[in-house]
Amino acid sequence: MQLNDFMHENYPNLELRPPLFYSWDTGIRFELGVEWKRGYDYPNNPFVLGCYN
């Protein structure tokens, strides 16, 4: 099951938008990569798709 499918099935009306970490009283901080640069943020980026999978 892909992340998007899971989220739509279990949280159909949840809107995720930044800053997620600071939006709730409790949060877990983790990194999905090393030296992430904003320039890597583009549609169908293989790194981001791998994180979703």
For the chain, the average pLDDT equals 78
Q: CA of 43: how far to CAs of 13, 24, 40, in Å?
A: 23, 28, 9
> Bigger pLDDT: 14 or 25?
14
Does residue 9 carry a pLDDT above 80?
A: yes
Determine if the pTM surpasses 0.75: no
Binned at pLDDT 50, 70 and 90, residue 42 comes out as: confident
Binned at pLDDT 50, 70 and 90, residue 17 comes out as: confident
Binned at pLDDT 50, 70 and 90, residue 1 comes out as: confident
Taking CB atoms within 8 Å and a gap of at least 24, the contacts of 20-26 are none
Nearest to 32 by CA among 2, 4, 52: 52
